[in-house]
Amino acid sequence: MSVASSSSVPSSSASDSAARASAAPSAQAVPGGAYPLAGRSVARVGYGAMQLERHSARPEAAASVLSHALDLGVNHLDTADFYGASFVNDVIRRVVGSLDAVARDRVIVATKVGAETNPQGPIPLRPAQRPDQLRANVEDNLRTLGSDHLDLVYLRRLEVRPGIQPEGDQDVPLDDQLETMIALRDEGLIRSIGISAVTIDTLRRAIPAGISAVQNAHSVVDRTFEDMMRLTAEHGIAWVPFFPLGSGFPGHAKVVEQPAAQAAARRLGATPSQVGLAWLLQRTPNTLIIPGTSDAAHLDENVAAGDLVLDAEAVAELDALQVVGGGEIRWETAEA
């Protein structure tokens, strides 16, 4: 993340190719190894910052957790302006903004557009899918992150459940949305375009726009989008699964509850969550994980998963699982 002018920032397709060819990790630890994203090299273990909103009454605690992530070598942060009504973005702005220029430029901040806060509604989010709303969302993120450009912006399409669904004027053609995202990239306001909560057909249609990363749910217990994972690998697109340990909603399957994950953890001297995260990292080299937490010790555990190598027995047992949980969706923030 940089506050320097982005008018000459290259598009994601060219810059990611250059990063893949020449990126070399610094002397600092690179949790999980490195992969190119938004024109730079990032650690494959990143940090999903949504959980920082748990510290909304104590901003200094949120800043401490985020600073600890950076100290551990994490340089891929995932956020959204609607996390904590801009609270999370504000924490990122203050912490990343306090770094020296070299350190700051190594940090990639990914955000997303396509939804906005709905504090008075039964669900705390509502769709914001129209092109004018996408542009306004980008401008909001620029303001709250305190930057003149955004490294990576996901278009959250809301095509797959669970979650809010677009209706009426929120049911917008993909081409109209991509036209807006490309224009924002051409204007230098965003560096790279990502896409999220989409079907594989939508991804195929979007690839020519220069998609840098894809976010859909993916874990040991939910492999609905395995074909999409393979497609991203074929195209050199980063695969950044959310819900990496199973859905955060109550009533849905969790990796840590699976006997296979628990047995592998005991044998390898790890935790079940570390086993689940390591399984993702071993699937494809383009997989980047962004587990979130509001606790420094839990953060240490997540980052250490980048060093865990699953043996053939563990991989076979986990691969044999075929669980997709169901249940009532309750809008509660859960550790991931």
pLDDT in tens, 41-67: 999 999 999 999 999 999 999 999 999
Name the least confident of 6-20, 180-194, 207-221, 222-236: 6-20
109/302 Cα distance (integer angstroms): 19
191/185 Cα distance (integer angstroms): 6
Q: Is the pLDDT of residue 70 over 70?
A: yes
* Residue 156 backbone dihedrals phi, psi, to 5 degrees: -85, 105
**pTM of the shown model:** 0.88
* Angle at which helices 131-145 and 87-97 cross, to 10°: 40
Name the amino acid, one letter, at 304.
A
Tens of pLDDT, residues 283-324: 999 999 999 999 999 999 999 999 999 999 999 999 998 765
Torsion sign across C-alpha atoms 268, 269, 274, 276: positive
What average pLDDT does range 58-81 have in this prediction?
98
Domain annotation for the chain: domains and CATH numbers: 40-215 (3.20.20.100)
Task: Write out the catalytic residue numbers.
Answer: 83
